[in-house]
Amino acid sequence: MSEQTKTNELNDVERYILSTIRNIQFGSVEVTIHDANIVQVEKSEKKRFDKHSS
């Protein structure tokens, strides 16, 4: 099965998780599962500035 076919078979929650991971630069994504079902997705993102940024 090709990667494109796998992507087409993802449900909305799986697409949301992948999108969140792809769009975060620094941080974490936590997925909470109850009884084999995803019930919550939390994103914690960090923005860092070097000392030359204004």
> Which sequence spans correspond to the domains of the chain?
3-45
Whether the model clears a pTM of 0.85, i.e. scores above it, the answer is no
pLDDT at 6: 57
Q: Does residue 45 contact residue 23 with C-beta atoms inside 8 Å?
A: no
Written as tens digits, the pLDDT of the chain (54 aa) is 555 555 568 899 999 999 999 999 999 999 999 999 999 999 999 988 888 765
The residues facing 38 across adjacent strands are 33
pLDDT at 9: 84
